[in-house]
Every structure is written in C-alpha cells, then in structure tokens.
Amino acid sequence: MTSTKQSTTAFLRDLLEEYSWVSTSSHSPELVALVTTNAIPTTFQAAQLKGCIYELDAPTIEIQNEIDLLRNAAASLDANMIRFKDIRRDYRAALSPIRRLPSEILVEILRRTPKEQTRQTTKEPYDIFGFNVFKISEEPWRLGQVCSSWRNAVEFLCPEMWSTLEIAWRHKLSKEKDCLIPAPKKGMPALLNRALERSQNHRLDFFFKCRGFHGHPSKRDDEPEEMSQCFDLLLRHSKRWGSTELAIVPSFLSRLSLIRGRVERVEDVYLMCAPNVMPATIDAFEIAPNLKTLDLTGMNAHACIPFPTENLISFSDTALLADQATVPKYLEIIASAPNLSDFSYR
C-alpha cells in the first residue's frame, strides 16, 4: 500500500513537472504588438499566428488527455470510496444498539410512534389515509428490513401497524407524455393478503379505489383482475371493517351484497361510485349496528340503500332528488336518528 502511494505521488509530481513550462509561456511579441495596435494582420503575420496555434495544438491535446485520465481515475476512486462507505455502514449497522432492544420495548416504541398522515395526490378530499400496501418503501414494510428482530416484531407483534391501508392502482409520471400512466405492482393481491394476515384480528380502516374510477364510462367495467382479487380479499375480512372508504366502479357495487350481515364492527362508510349508476338495491350495510357515518357519492337517485340509524351521527348523499317523493325519505332518516348532528344532501 505504501509503495503504491509513493508511486502515485511520484507520477503526479512528474506529471506536473512535465508541463511546468506552461506557467512561463506567454504571447509572442508579434501578437502583443498586433493586439496593441488593433491592426489587421498582414499575410506574413497571419502565417505566424497560424504557426503558433499549430504549435499549441499538440500540448493542448496532451494536457487534455492527461486531465481526462485523472478525471476517470478520480471517478473510479470515488465509486470505490462509495462502495467502501456502504460496506462500512453495513458493519456499523450490524453493531447498532437498536438491534439489541428487547422485543417488548421495540413493540412499544413502534406502537407509540405517531403515524405520518399524508393526503392523496389526487384532487378529491378523501377521508381515510393509510400506508400504501403496494409501495414497499413505505412503513411498515421498510421497518421489517432493519433486522430479524425488527422483522419479527413488525410482522407478528404490531397488528395495528398493518390495519390502516390504502389499496389503489399505482401510477407514475410519464416523461414522454407528461402525464400519469399505470404502474402496477407485481403480486398486488399477494401483498394485500400478507398485510391482512399481519393485521391479525385488528380493526381494519382502509381506502380502496378502482383503477377505472376516474376513467371513461365505456371502460369502467374493464377493471384489472388484480384489483378484483384485492376487492374480494377485503370482502372476506368485512367482519373487521371499522372505517372504510370505497371509490369503486358500478360492476363492484353489486358485489357488496356479499357482506350483508357481516359488518358488525363498521362505524364509518364513505361509498363513492362512478356516476350514471343504474338503480339498484345496495343492502350491504343494512345490518350494521355500530354505523355512525354514511357518506354516499355518485349513487343513483332511485337506488334503495337501507341502513340503520340508531347510532348515526353523520349522513351525506350527493344524489339529485328524483322527485318530491324523495323528501319524506330524508325526513324519516332525520326523525329516526336521535344522535344525528350532520346531515346534507344535494
């Protein structure tokens, strides 16, 4: 190593000495006189100037080649330095005291750490915010990558970390088209299933949005199979629903009937469907004794949506009044909901 350093130092010293004459170089007297008078060069003077330029071309190229060589060497050394720093960081991480925390203390730290709440990137004012199930770089996925003890704690001892979810078709910005384009994550149903398993029997609060929710009406029924499978997974866990926000296409709306009588724990329902929904009976939340909030968006004015009002605190419906006969329906909701404090319809 020492001999290598000496040879490198000697090489650099010799290189600088080889071109030390450049520092003493200057303009020729002919050029100085010509510049001083600002006169037009004669044919003879022009030939002299061209000769000087020709003489300077070779050393200029040589020096540039040496600079390129040094730059490439420096870039290579810099890459090696980055690699060494990464390796050293990994060694230091293996010795980190946080790896030695007892599981019970680690679990308490993770449980008491406030979760960062961030709004959706879209314009709609959604109400439920959780970690993006399909984004491995988000918590709690990344916390399980610290070490095995953290992974065990996150996977088996912190179900509440997995119980507030966002399930939405991912998009990315296209540099070519300057717009958002689909960016599906491989194994989406498997990721959601893993998160649901790790949430154990904890209450589930989630936001689910179909890919075609904002799409053209002719393409709303053409929902990817991955999202259909994810929706089925959520339906299987309906007994654990607490607060749920669904932004779905019409073809998914009818499937909600499968959970009728299986939503005993649900308290808040924000149900949004793409417009132009056909009249139908949506009885998914007819037997929901703990229902406190029901927010309906995009429903057909003639749709039949039975729900309990005993514990209802907030009700909203954006459907246009079909006719005057609809008014008594809303009055009945108000009369039968003793705890109602927030009521709105369009």
Residue-wise pLDDT tens digits, 49-87: 888 888 888 888 888 888 898 899 889 989 999 999 999
Angle at 139 between CA 138 and CA 141, to 5 degrees: 85
Q: Order of strands across the sheet with 131-132?
A: 131-132, 164-168, 204-209, 241-248, 268-273, 293-297, 314-317, 342-345
The pLDDT value recorded for residue 111 is: 77
Task: Say if residues 246 and 208 touch (Cβ distance below 8 Å).
Answer: yes
Q: Report residue 215's pLDDT band, with 50, 70 and 90 as the boundaries.
A: low
- Kindly tell me if the per-residue pLDDT of 120 is higher than 70: no
Give the residue from 328, 266, 322 showing the smallest Cα distance to 295. 266
Distance CA(168)–CA(342), nearest Å, equals 29
Nearest to 70 by CA among 19, 3, 24, 1: 19
Question: How far apart, in whole angstroms, are the C-alpha atoms of residue 306 and residue 309?
Answer: 10
Q: For 34-71, give one letter per residue: b (16+ CB within 10 A) or e.
A: beeeeeeeeeeeeebeeeeeeeeeeeeeeeeeeeeeee
Mean pLDDT calculated for residue range 93-114? 78
Residue 308's region, left for phi above 0, alpha for psi from -120 to 50, else beta, is beta
Cα–Cα distance measured from residue 254 to residue 223, given in angstroms and rounded to the nearest whole number = 14
For 163-194, the pLDDT digits (tens) are: 999 998 875 555 565 554 445 567 899 999 99
Q: Which of these, 255, 284, 271, 286, lies nearest to 319 by C-alpha position?
A: 271
Radius of gyration of the chain (CA): 35
| pLDDT value at residue 50 | 84
Check: pTM over 0.85? Answer yes or no: no
d(CA 266, CA 1): 69
**How crowded is residue 11: how many other Cβ atoms within 10 Å of its Cβ?**
10
Measured between alpha carbons, how far is 260 from 257 in angstroms, rounded to an integer? 5
Alpha-carbon gap, residue 199 to 160, rounded angstroms: 6
